[in-house]
Structure 1
């Protein structure tokens, strides 16, 4: 189940959007001001951010700029009544991925959410990402396959694999891995990460994930 942070201070619109998204099988966490949304974004790993701009305490623009500076790259859609070119430019400059103007149809919101979530792996045009050892990853259904046979992964193994696929051939440091795999109220474990890495190497090949001493890991994708 994909997890969405909804920041909207209009109570009626908030409840309408929340109920609609939950009916589409999304998990939705609510915020009504920017500071609370900032705390929730720190405490949870979200798949998508839906952010109103003109909200109390911290605007949507300020919030997303702050999150991007914290290296939080969660896809974000602004929901706003602002419609000037300068506002649009400000929104994209702060790091958003899409923009939907009020009033909007719920079906339009659904399409934008679904489209953005499908772009999780650098706008990959295919649903299947080819990997080594006869493996592929179904980016739509979050399924790892080997010779077309689905392979079961633990929840955190799946999160780790997706992180690697989003940052192919890049060094991912230990802190980023810990922040992605564990929620704020969980205790991270380096030994658990090593176990997940070992399992993924067994599936994808021992040279698929390189350990960079005292720094992190790099997923090799040719």
Structure 2
């Protein structure tokens, strides 16, 4: 099935050129030329990727993407723009884009960027997740914790601990095994640190999500 792409570009010649090129590459394209039309279409239809010009009628690409992100829309997005300062770049990524292509650009470069993002996106969708409740999920393959489909940044040992407990869900993992898994051979294991990691994970996942028993260790338990 062809990936569906929303293309926002108000330059008629460029938009037709890009549309034709991407169709030839095997994608299904919906072309619009103003921010309002793009916003409406992004709400109405599912897309695998948004390609957004920044300077467009009835708004701008940065504000458009910010609004969509705030509404919980997580479709990957690429900005096309003639803006090229560091502050413009920062504004684009702050708005929530995944990539940023400066005009003028080669169509081959656009194709490579599109392919890269779609591969990443589809891989993300096909991962196996542990549903942790309250819109949290954890990918055992990529070792990433998500909240509302947004990746959270956690210290590496907390991620390792969560992964270990999920692999042994509803079974106790001994403190000895946790020490062996979390600490490198040249590090000194710390029970105080372990308790801190557990406390932090409980703050995120619920105070009853991880239980511990003296002599048995720790267990992830969602009932």
Pick the TM interval, shorter chain. Answer: 0.5 to 0.7
Deviations 1:49-87 (A, max 9, x none): 000000011200000000000100000000000000110
Q: Deviations over 1:6-54 (max 9, x none)?
A: 0000000000000000001100001100000000000100000000000
- Shift, 1:170, TM fit: 5.0
Residue by residue over 1:135-184, the C-alpha shift from the partner in whole angstroms, topping out at 9 and shown as x without a partner, is xxxx49xxxxxxxxxxxxxxxxxxxxx4x7486535487xxxxxxxxxxx
Task: Give the SS at the match of 1:119.
Answer: helix
Q: What TM-score do the two structures reach when normalised by structure 2?
A: 0.57
Per-residue deviation, 1:118? 1.0
* Unaligned runs of at least 5 residues, structure 2: 136-223
Which is higher, the Rg of structure 1 or of structure 2? 2
Aligned: 1:115 with 2:77: no
Aligned to 1:129: none
User: How many residues in Structure 1 have an aligned counterpart in Structure 2?
Assistant: 134
Higher relative contact order (CA 8 A, sep 6+): 1
In structure 2, what is the Cα distance between the partners aligned to 1:35 and 1:90? 20
Match of 2:131 among 169, 183, 192: 169
Report 1:1-150 matches (<5 A): 1-120=2-121, 139=123
The list of structure 1 runs, each at least 4 consecutive aligned residues, that deviate by more than 6 angstroms after superposition, is none
CA separation in 2, counterparts of 1:171 and 1:70?
Answer: 21
Structure 1 residue runs without a partner (length 5+): 122-138, 141-161, 174-222
* In structure 2, C-alpha distance between the alignment counterparts of 1:166 and 1:172, rounded to whole Å: 18
**TM-score scaled by structure 1?**
0.57
**Separation in 2, partners of 1:80, 1:168:** 39
What is the alpha-carbon distance in structure 1 between the residues aligned to residue 61 and residue 34 of structure 2?
A: 9
* Equivalent position SS for 2:121: coil
Q: CA RMSD in A?
A: 2.0
